[in-house]
Amino acid sequence: MKRLKQFSNSIDHAVDGIIYAFKTERNLKIHFLITILVLAVCLVLDLSRLEVVMVFFAISLVIVAEMINTAIEAFVNLLTLSHHPLARISKDVSAGGVLIAAINALVVSYLIIFSAIKKPILEMVIKKARESWVHISIIIIFITILIVAIGKALGKKGSFTQGGLVSGHAAVAFGVSTAILLATKNIFATSLAFFLALLVAQSRIEAKFHQWFEVVLGALIGISTSLLIYHVFYPEQIIGAIKELLSKF
């Protein structure tokens, strides 16, 4: 149990570092936005596993380089507040590493992704996503986690896994439950899913990680995200789910 707690704390501190870098570094926000767009494109293109790994590695390298650059700048500022030539060299070299990683990512993206685009991206995204509800579920979870991460970054308390402006656990739980309702229209399965989501929300409140309004906000984000995504890809599913619910009462 102690080791599990230590591991959980390590993950918590690591994610806090990511959120700090996201909040303080404008370039990192741009990198995250580009990462989301590139990964979305990778989901719909017929890329091999090796090509996807290469793209993911190139993008990750840029983000890691940017975070190392942030850490180096913070450490140099801790050591000296004067404009020492060595301090400037340290910052310039770390920034140069970020530039090289970014150029590498652009080259890899051009060679792999842009050469594979044969028709409009939006059309490919909709076509690929409509082929399976699994794709929709992955998109819902990914976007929900992204919104929660932004909410955590904008908040002034808590961390990514504990506390904060929005309950990420509640957001994901209610988002998935709503997706189950829209995908299956099975009242029994949906009831079980929402019951588990309520248990997750209650556990976050009882553990004093969140206040009730933070849990409600997370639940609303999860439900709204699922409804919005299904409205884009499967608008008929929402109408069918509503009719199924009304027919049971």
- Determine contact, residues 228/158, Cβ cutoff 8 Å: no
Torsion of CA 140, 142, 145, 150, to 10 degrees: -110
Q: Kindly state the tokens that stand for 196.
A: 């588990």
Given the residues 25, 66, 73, 244, the one annotated as active site: 66
Strands (DSSP E) found in the chain: none
Best CA proximity match to 15, nearest among 141, 139, 153? 153
Cβ 198 vs Cβ 222: under 8 Å: no
123 included as an active-site residue: no
Distance CA 7, CA 127 (A): 41
Alpha-carbon distance of 43 to 146, in angstroms, equals 17
**Contact predicate 64/35, CB 8 Å:** no
- Structure tokens given for 192: 């079980």
Return the active site residues: 66
